[in-house]
Structure formats: C-alpha cells, structure tokens
C-alpha cells in the first residue's frame, strides 16, 4: 500500500509565501513538498520541547498575536 496523504490549508503572509517559494525553487521542490518537510521538522521539535512556548521561549509571545486562531476563545 502507498503512503496516504491529506491536504492542509494554512494562512501565510504574502511575503513569507513568496520567500518560501523562492527557497523551494532553489531546492527544486514544489511549495507543497517544501512545506511538508518544514511542517514535519517543526512538529518533531515541538514534540521534544513539549509546547511552542517551551520551544520558542519568550519570543513565542509575539507570535501569538500574528498566528492566534480566532476560533478559539483563549486563542
């Protein structure tokens, strides 16, 4: 049996998306493949750290405003 994959939608700032596309092209990858590699790598780091706050330390507080999920009350 092959590997099952699912689609994931994320919201990115246009500048970040453009920069990621350039990096992906430099490595001869699609944006989707490049994003999947980054997502798996980052998630492994979060699991080891235990949380994004532990992983990023105080710098994670600034990310909360940028990436807060508006669907969550305590987002």
Residue 24 near residue 16, CB atoms below 8 Å: no
Show pLDDT as tens, one digit a residue, over the chain (75 residues): 678 888 889 888 999 999 999 999 999 999 999 999 999 999 999 999 998 888 887 665 566 565 555 555 554
Q: DSSP character for 72?
A: S
Residue 24 near residue 32, CB atoms below 8 Å: no
In a domain, 2, yes or no: no
In a domain, 63, yes or no: yes
In a domain, 9, yes or no: no
CA distance 6 to 46: 21
Q: Where are the alpha helices (DSSP H) in 1-75?
A: 14-26, 31-49, 52-56, 60-67
| Total domains, the chain | 1
In a domain, 59, yes or no: yes
Write down the pLDDT at residue 71.
59
């Amino acid at each position: 049996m092959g590997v099952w994959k699912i689609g994931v939608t994320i919201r990115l700032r246009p500048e970040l998306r453009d920069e990621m596309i350039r990096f992906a092209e430099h490595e001869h990858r699609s944006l989707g493949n490049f994003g999947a590699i980054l997502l798996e790598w980052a998630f492994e780091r979060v699991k080891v750290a235990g949380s994004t706050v532990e992983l990023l330390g105080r710098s994670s507080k600034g990310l909360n405003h940028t990436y807060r999920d508006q669907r969550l009350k305590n987002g």
